[in-house]
Structure 1
Amino acid sequence: MKREPGFLHILARVLLVLLVLYLSWAAAFFITAAIYSRMLWAPHDLFVFLINATLGFFFFGIISMTVKRFIRPREQHVFTEMIDALKRISQGDFHINLDWDLGGRNGKNRRPHPYIQLVDSINDMAANLKAMEELREEFISNVSHEIGSPLTSIIGFAKALKDENLDQEQRDRYLTIIETECIRLSKLSDNLMKLAVLDSERYPFRPSRYRLDKQLISLILACEPQWEGKKIDMIVEADKVEVNADEDLLGQVWVNLLHNAIKFTPQGGSISVSLSSNGDQAVVCIADTGPGIDEQDQQRIFERFYKADKSRARTEGGSGLGLSIAHKITEMHCGSISVSSKMGEGTAVTVLLPLYQEAKKGSSNC
C-alpha cells in the first residue's frame, strides 16, 4: 500500500513554492521600478501590477526549469543504470551493486525516496540470484566429483582385469572393488533422485497415525547385523509415542541416522537411542561414541555433499546426502533436527517432531 506524504511534508513543499514565487515577484518589482525610474515614467498602478505579476511568473518558470535540468539528468542516469543492471542479470551476471543516494535530501528520519527502494530491491535480487548460482555451481561440481571418483576406479580396475597374468585372488579383489563402486553409484543416484523429488514438493505426502517407538525398535533390529558385527553396545530407551506422519519418509530419516552412527562408532563402542515426549513434541536422540564433529563443521553438516571428515567419508562410501535428506524430511513434518558434538566425545543427533493431535490429522501444514 502506497504511503501518503505527511502534512508537514506537504506544507514544506507549499512554503518552498510560495517562497520562490514571492522572490520572483520581488525581483520583478525591483527590476521594473528601476526601468521606470530611468525612463522617468510613472505608469498606472494596474499596469504596474500586471507587468510585475507577468514578469514574476516568467522568473518563476525560468527558476523551475533550471532546477529540473539539474534533477532530471540525475534521475535519467539512475534509470539507465537500473536498466543496464537488469539486462546484466537477465544474461546471468549477478555481480550487481547499484549505489545512488537520494535518501539524504529527505533527512535521516523521513520516508526514503522511492528510487532508493527500487535500487535496494534490485541489489537484493542480484545478491539472492548470485547466492543461488553459487549453490548450483557447487552442487554440479560436487555431483561431478562424486560420480567421477567411482567411475575412475571402475575403469581402472576393469582395465586391470584384462591382464591375463592376474591370479584368481587378484581378480576377485578387483571385481569386489568394482561391485562396491557400482553400489556406491547406485546409492548416489537414488539419493539425488530422492532429493530432487522432495525439493519439487511433488512427493506423495501420506501422514498417518502410528507408534513411533515401534518403528524405531523395528529399524534398530533390522540394522542388528551391522552393529553386532562391530560389537557395538546398542542402548534403547523408547517411551510410547504416537505421531501423525509419513511412516516411509520418517523411516528414511531413522535409517540414515542409524547408519551414520554405526559407521562412525569404533569397534566395541556404544550407541544410545532415546525416544520421549516433551510438551507437544516427540524427541528422538541418537548418540554415538565416535570421533565427534568439529564445531565449525556442525554449522554446515546438513548441507548437501558436505562431509566433516572428507577422507573418512570417502573410505566409508558416503556421499554427504544422508543428513540433507533427513533435514528435508524433518522440515516437511514441521519438525527440526540438530547436532551436538565434541571432538573425541561422540555425536548426538536430536530430532523434534509434533506429537499426534486429532485436530491436525491428515494435515501437512506447519
Structure 2
Amino acid sequence: MKHQSSKWLIGLKVAGATAMVFTFSGGAFSLAYWLTYWFYSKHEVDLPEYVLQLVNWGLGVLLLILIFAVVNLLVQPKQRAVWNEMMDALRRMAKGDFNVMVDQDKKYRGQIGDFIQSINDMAHDLKQVELLRQEFISNVSHEIQSPLTSIRGFASTLQREDLSAEEQKHYLSIIEKETTRLSRISDNLLKLTTLESEQQQLDRRRYRLDAQLESIVLACEPQWLEKELELELELEETEIAANEEMLSQVWVNLIHNAIKFTPALGSIRIVLRKVENNIAVTITDTGIGISPEDQLRIFERFYMGDKQRTRTADGSGLGLSIVKKIVELHQGDIQVKSRLLAGSTFEVTLPAE
C-alpha cells in the first residue's frame, strides 16, 4: 500500500510538472498567434499558409525560451543559495562537525524541503553517535586507568624493604585482583566487538532450557547460601533452539546481579514459561531496585547508575550490554521493571522456534 501511495504521489508531481509546461507552452504560442495576427492586420503579407504557420511556431518557441529564461533568472539565485548551504553543511559533516542545521526558518517545502530535512536528520544522528563514541572512550579509559593506578601504586610500595611477608602477600593479592579485572574488561570488550560483527554466527542447537537454568542456579549456590537468600524456581520443561553457551552468559549475568544486589535474607524467584509463540524467563529479586532514570540506560556500556549500584571492583560494567546483545542476536527482547528498595524483575523473551 505504501509503495502504491509513493507511486501515486510521484504521478501527481509528474502530472503537475507536465501541466506547468503545457501552461507555459500554451501561453507562449497563444501570445505568438496574437502578435502575428496583429502584425498581419497592420501590414499586407503575401506568404503561403504553411510559411505563416512556421512563423507563428518559431515565434512561439522563441517566446517560450524567453519565459523560461526569465523564470530561471528569478529562481536560480535562490536555488544556488540553498544548494551552497547544503554543500557547506555536508563539507562540515565530512570533517566531523555535526553541529549543522540547514534552513532553520523552514522556508523550503516540497522535494527540496524533504532533502534538507534528511540532511538535518543525518547530522543529528551522527552527532548522537559521536557523543556515544566519546562517552564510550572516556568510560573505557576510566575503567582501565583505575586498576592500572592500583597496580602501579602497590608495585611501588612492594619495593620498600621494611614490609613484612604478610604485607607483601596482601599487596600482591591486590595486584593480582586488579590484573584479573583488567583481563575481564579486555575479554568483555572483545566479546562485545565479536557479538556486534556482522559475521557473528549463532550456531543454534536444541537443548533443555529449564535444565540449563537449574544448573546455573546450583553453580551459584555458594553465593546465595552465604547471604541466606531464598531461591524459588518455577521452570516448565522447555526446549529451545539457540546458542547454549551465549544464553548461559545471559542467565549467569542476570542471576549473579540478582544475588549481588539482594540483601541478606532476601529472595529470588526464577520463572520459565511459554507464552504463545515465545519463551519467557523472568528473574525477580527483592534487592535495592533501580531508579526510573537508570532503567532507561542500564543496558548501555559502562553506564554508572546510582551509588547503591555502582560497579564493584570485580565488575566490568559491560555485563548487561553483552546480555542485551546476545538476546537481540536471538531475535529476542529484554525488559526491566523495578522500584527503589522494592526489587527488580528482568524478563527475557525469546522465540520458541
1:295 aligns with 2:292: yes
Are the equivalent residues in 1 in contact too, given 2:181–2:313 (CA < 8 A)?
A: no
Tell me, what secondary structure is at the counterpart of 1:314?
Answer: coil
Correspondence 1:105-124 to 2 at 5 A: 112-113=110-111, 115-124=112-121
Q: Which runs of 5+ in 1 are unaligned?
A: 37-41, 104-111, 358-366
1:61: how far off? 4.1
Aligned length, in residue pairs: 338
CA-to-aligned-CA distance 1:49-106 (integer Å, 9 cap, x gap)? 89x9577765554443222112122222333333333322222222222227442xxx
Match of 1:363 in 2: none
Give, in whole Å, the separation in 1 of the partners of 2:305 and 2:248: 24
1:152: how far off? 0.9
Closer, same or farther: CA 138–181 of 1 in aligned 2, 3 Å: same
1:82 aligns with 2:90: no
Give, in whole Å, the separation in 1 of the partners of 2:190 and 2:313: 21
CA-to-aligned-CA distance 1:175-201 (integer Å, 9 cap, x gap)? 232222122111111111100000013
Match of 2:175 in 1: 178
| Aligned residue identity for 1:140 | I
Closer, same or farther: CA 60–282 of 1 in aligned 2, 3 Å: closer
Partner residue of 1:15 out of 15, 19, 23: 23
Tell me, what secondary structure is at the counterpart of 1:135?
Answer: helix
| Aligned residue identity for 1:67 | V
1:11: how far off? 2.9
1:165 aligns with 2:165: no
Are the equivalent residues in 2 in contact too, given 1:304–1:321 (CA < 8 A)?
A: yes
Correspondence 1:1-366 to 2 at 5 A: 3-4=10-11, 5=13, 7=15, 10-19=18-27, 22=30, 42-44=42-44, 53=56, 61-99=65-103, 101-103=107-109, 112-113=110-111, 115-310=112-307, 312-355=309-352, 357=353
Are the equivalent residues in 1 in contact too, given 2:304–2:311 (CA < 8 A)?
A: no
| Aligned residue identity for 1:92 | G
Give, in whole Å, the separation in 1 of the partners of 2:125 and 2:66: 46
1:238: how far off? 1.0
Are the equivalent residues in 2 in contact too, given 1:28–1:56 (CA < 8 A)?
A: no
1:304: how far off? 1.0
Tell me, what secondary structure is at the counterpart of 1:315?
Answer: coil
Give, in whole Å, the separation in 2 of the partners of 1:125 and 1:261: 40
Match of 1:106 in 2: none
Single out whichever of 9-18 and 88-97 deviates more from structure 2.
9-18
| Aligned residue identity for 1:215 | Q
Closer, same or farther: CA 311–174 of 1 in aligned 2, 3 Å: farther
1:12: how far off? 4.5
Q: Which runs of 5+ in 2 are unaligned?
A: 1-5
Give, in whole Å, the separation in 2 of the partners of 1:271 and 1:280: 26
1:334: how far off? 1.3
Are the equivalent residues in 2 in contact too, given 1:25–1:57 (CA < 8 A)?
A: no
Give, in whole Å, the separation in 1 of the partners of 2:314 and 2:88: 48
Tell me, what secondary structure is at the counterpart of 1:97?
Answer: coil
Closer, same or farther: CA 8–92 of 1 in aligned 2, 3 Å: closer
Match of 1:360 in 2: none
1:252: how far off? 0.5
| Aligned residue identity for 1:43 | H
Closer, same or farther: CA 166–311 of 1 in aligned 2, 3 Å: farther
1:7: how far off? 4.0
Q: Could you say what the CA RMSD is over the residues aligned between the two structures, in angstroms?
A: 2.8
CA-to-aligned-CA distance 1:20-69 (integer Å, 9 cap, x gap)? 55457657877x69xx9xxxxx521568x89x957776555444322211
Tell me, what secondary structure is at the counterpart of 2:99?
Answer: coil
Give, in whole Å, the separation in 1 of the partners of 2:36 and 2:81: 35
Single out whichever of 243-252 and 169-178 deviates more from structure 2.
169-178
Give, in whole Å, the separation in 2 of the partners of 1:71 and 1:46: 42
Closer, same or farther: CA 216–162 of 1 in aligned 2, 3 Å: same
Give, in whole Å, the separation in 2 of the partners of 1:8 and 1:308: 57
| Aligned residue identity for 1:188 | I
1:299: how far off? 1.0
| Aligned residue identity for 1:315 | T
TM-score scaled by structure 2?
0.85
| Aligned residue identity for 1:96 | V
Are the equivalent residues in 2 in contact too, given 1:313–1:319 (CA < 8 A)?
A: no
Give, in whole Å, the separation in 1 of the partners of 2:277 and 2:339: 29
1:9: how far off? 5.3
